[in-house]
Amino acid sequence: MDVQQSNPFQTPQADLQQTTTNQAPLYSIAGVGLATFIGTPLAGAWLLAHNLQLLGKADRVAMVWGVSIALLLITLVLAFVLPEEVPALPFAIAQLMAMIMLAKNLMEAELKQHTEAGGVYLSNWRAAGIGLLFTLAVAALMFAVLMIFDI
Protein backbone atom coordinates (compact mmCIF):
# COMPACT_ATOMS: atom_id res chain seq x y z
CA MET A 1 0.00 0.00 0.00
CA ASP A 2 1.38 3.37 -1.05
CA VAL A 3 1.53 5.90 1.79
CA GLN A 4 0.95 8.93 -0.46
CA GLN A 5 -2.27 7.54 -1.93
CA SER A 6 -3.80 6.84 1.46
CA ASN A 7 -2.81 10.20 2.96
CA PRO A 8 -6.04 12.21 3.46
CA PHE A 9 -4.08 15.45 3.90
CA GLN A 10 -2.37 15.36 0.52
CA THR A 11 -3.40 18.07 -1.92
CA PRO A 12 -5.44 16.82 -4.85
CA GLN A 13 -3.69 16.26 -8.14
CA ALA A 14 -5.43 18.37 -10.79
CA ASP A 15 -4.50 20.41 -13.81
CA LEU A 16 -4.94 24.10 -13.10
CA GLN A 17 -6.14 26.31 -15.90
CA GLN A 18 -4.84 29.83 -16.21
CA THR A 19 -7.64 32.35 -16.81
CA THR A 20 -5.56 35.49 -16.73
CA THR A 21 -3.64 36.97 -19.60
CA ASN A 22 -0.10 38.26 -19.62
CA GLN A 23 -1.31 41.73 -20.65
CA ALA A 24 -0.80 44.61 -18.26
CA PRO A 25 -3.95 46.22 -16.84
CA LEU A 26 -5.06 49.44 -18.55
CA TYR A 27 -7.27 52.39 -17.67
CA SER A 28 -10.65 52.58 -19.40
CA ILE A 29 -11.87 55.62 -21.31
CA ALA A 30 -14.32 56.21 -18.47
CA GLY A 31 -11.37 56.28 -16.07
CA VAL A 32 -9.64 58.89 -18.22
CA GLY A 33 -12.83 60.96 -18.20
CA LEU A 34 -13.24 60.65 -14.44
CA ALA A 35 -9.64 61.65 -13.76
CA THR A 36 -10.00 64.60 -16.12
CA PHE A 37 -13.21 65.76 -14.44
CA ILE A 38 -11.75 65.56 -10.95
CA GLY A 39 -8.17 66.56 -11.64
CA THR A 40 -7.86 68.73 -14.77
CA PRO A 41 -6.73 67.45 -18.18
CA LEU A 42 -3.30 66.72 -16.68
CA ALA A 43 -4.72 63.78 -14.72
CA GLY A 44 -6.37 62.43 -17.86
CA ALA A 45 -3.08 62.82 -19.72
CA TRP A 46 -1.31 60.81 -17.00
CA LEU A 47 -3.69 57.88 -17.52
CA LEU A 48 -3.53 58.19 -21.30
CA ALA A 49 0.27 58.21 -21.18
CA HIS A 50 0.22 55.06 -19.04
CA ASN A 51 -2.02 53.27 -21.54
CA LEU A 52 -0.15 54.47 -24.61
CA GLN A 53 3.18 53.30 -23.25
CA LEU A 54 1.79 49.85 -22.48
CA LEU A 55 0.13 49.65 -25.90
CA GLY A 56 3.39 50.45 -27.69
CA LYS A 57 2.39 53.97 -28.76
CA ALA A 58 4.91 55.90 -26.68
CA ASP A 59 5.53 58.26 -29.61
CA ARG A 60 2.11 59.85 -28.98
CA VAL A 61 2.65 60.60 -25.29
CA ALA A 62 4.23 64.02 -25.92
CA MET A 63 1.26 65.02 -28.06
CA VAL A 64 -1.17 63.99 -25.29
CA TRP A 65 0.74 66.07 -22.72
CA GLY A 66 0.82 69.03 -25.10
CA VAL A 67 -2.94 68.90 -25.69
CA SER A 68 -3.72 68.59 -21.99
CA ILE A 69 -1.41 71.47 -21.02
CA ALA A 70 -2.94 73.63 -23.76
CA LEU A 71 -6.46 72.83 -22.52
CA LEU A 72 -5.50 73.72 -18.96
CA LEU A 73 -3.78 76.96 -19.93
CA ILE A 74 -6.67 78.08 -22.12
CA THR A 75 -9.09 77.45 -19.28
CA LEU A 76 -6.93 79.29 -16.75
CA VAL A 77 -6.50 82.28 -19.04
CA LEU A 78 -10.24 82.42 -19.68
CA ALA A 79 -10.91 82.19 -15.94
CA PHE A 80 -8.79 85.31 -15.34
CA VAL A 81 -10.05 87.25 -18.38
CA LEU A 82 -13.80 86.56 -18.35
CA PRO A 83 -16.08 88.24 -15.82
CA GLU A 84 -17.08 86.35 -12.68
CA GLU A 85 -20.67 86.01 -13.89
CA VAL A 86 -19.60 83.53 -16.56
CA PRO A 87 -20.20 80.00 -15.24
CA ALA A 88 -17.23 77.63 -15.05
CA LEU A 89 -19.15 74.43 -15.82
CA PRO A 90 -19.06 74.78 -19.64
CA PHE A 91 -15.26 74.99 -19.53
CA ALA A 92 -15.03 71.86 -17.38
CA ILE A 93 -17.36 70.02 -19.76
CA ALA A 94 -15.32 71.17 -22.77
CA GLN A 95 -12.10 69.88 -21.18
CA LEU A 96 -13.78 66.60 -20.30
CA MET A 97 -15.19 66.06 -23.79
CA ALA A 98 -11.86 66.96 -25.43
CA MET A 99 -9.94 64.43 -23.34
CA ILE A 100 -12.54 61.69 -23.87
CA MET A 101 -12.50 62.27 -27.63
CA LEU A 102 -8.68 62.20 -27.61
CA ALA A 103 -8.69 58.92 -25.65
CA LYS A 104 -11.22 57.34 -28.02
CA ASN A 105 -9.26 58.51 -31.05
CA LEU A 106 -5.94 57.18 -29.76
CA MET A 107 -6.86 53.84 -28.23
CA GLU A 108 -10.49 52.75 -28.60
CA ALA A 109 -9.67 49.89 -30.99
CA GLU A 110 -6.82 48.65 -28.78
CA LEU A 111 -9.05 48.71 -25.70
CA LYS A 112 -11.65 46.58 -27.52
CA GLN A 113 -8.93 44.07 -28.41
CA HIS A 114 -7.72 44.18 -24.80
CA THR A 115 -11.23 43.36 -23.57
CA GLU A 116 -11.72 40.55 -26.09
CA ALA A 117 -8.38 39.02 -25.09
CA GLY A 118 -9.53 38.90 -21.47
CA GLY A 119 -7.41 41.83 -20.35
CA VAL A 120 -8.20 43.57 -17.10
CA TYR A 121 -8.71 47.24 -16.35
CA LEU A 122 -7.49 49.29 -13.45
CA SER A 123 -10.13 50.57 -11.06
CA ASN A 124 -11.94 53.85 -11.69
CA TRP A 125 -11.41 54.54 -7.98
CA ARG A 126 -7.70 54.58 -8.70
CA ALA A 127 -8.33 57.02 -11.58
CA ALA A 128 -10.37 59.21 -9.21
CA GLY A 129 -7.53 59.17 -6.68
CA ILE A 130 -5.05 60.22 -9.33
CA GLY A 131 -7.42 63.01 -10.33
CA LEU A 132 -7.62 64.17 -6.72
CA LEU A 133 -3.83 64.20 -6.42
CA PHE A 134 -3.56 66.31 -9.56
CA THR A 135 -6.19 68.71 -8.20
CA LEU A 136 -4.18 69.17 -5.01
CA ALA A 137 -0.95 69.66 -6.96
CA VAL A 138 -2.46 72.25 -9.33
CA ALA A 139 -4.10 74.09 -6.41
CA ALA A 140 -0.79 74.18 -4.52
CA LEU A 141 1.03 75.40 -7.61
CA MET A 142 -1.53 78.14 -8.25
CA PHE A 143 -1.40 79.20 -4.59
CA ALA A 144 2.39 79.40 -4.73
CA VAL A 145 2.33 81.45 -7.95
CA LEU A 146 -0.26 83.83 -6.50
CA MET A 147 1.80 84.29 -3.35
CA ILE A 148 5.05 84.84 -5.20
CA PHE A 149 3.64 87.38 -7.63
CA ASP A 150 1.26 88.84 -5.00
CA ILE A 151 -1.66 88.94 -7.41
Predicted local distance difference test score (pLDDT) of residue 151: 64
Predicted local distance difference test score (pLDDT) of residue 20: 47
Predicted local distance difference test score (pLDDT) of residue 2: 52
For the cut 90, the answer to whether the pLDDT of residue 1 exceeds it is no
- Cα Dmax for the chain: 91
Helix (H) or strand (E) holding 122: none
Q: Tell me: the pLDDT tens digits for 55-87? A: 999 999 999 999 999 999 999 899 889 998 999
What residue segments make up the domains of the chain, in order of their start? 27-149
Banded pLDDT at 13 (limits 50, 70, 90): confident
The percent of residues in the chain predicted with pLDDT above 70, rounded, is 89
Cα–Cα dist 64/106, whole Å: 9
Q: Tell me: the pLDDT tens digits for 14-46? A: 665 554 455 799 999 999 999 999 999 999 999
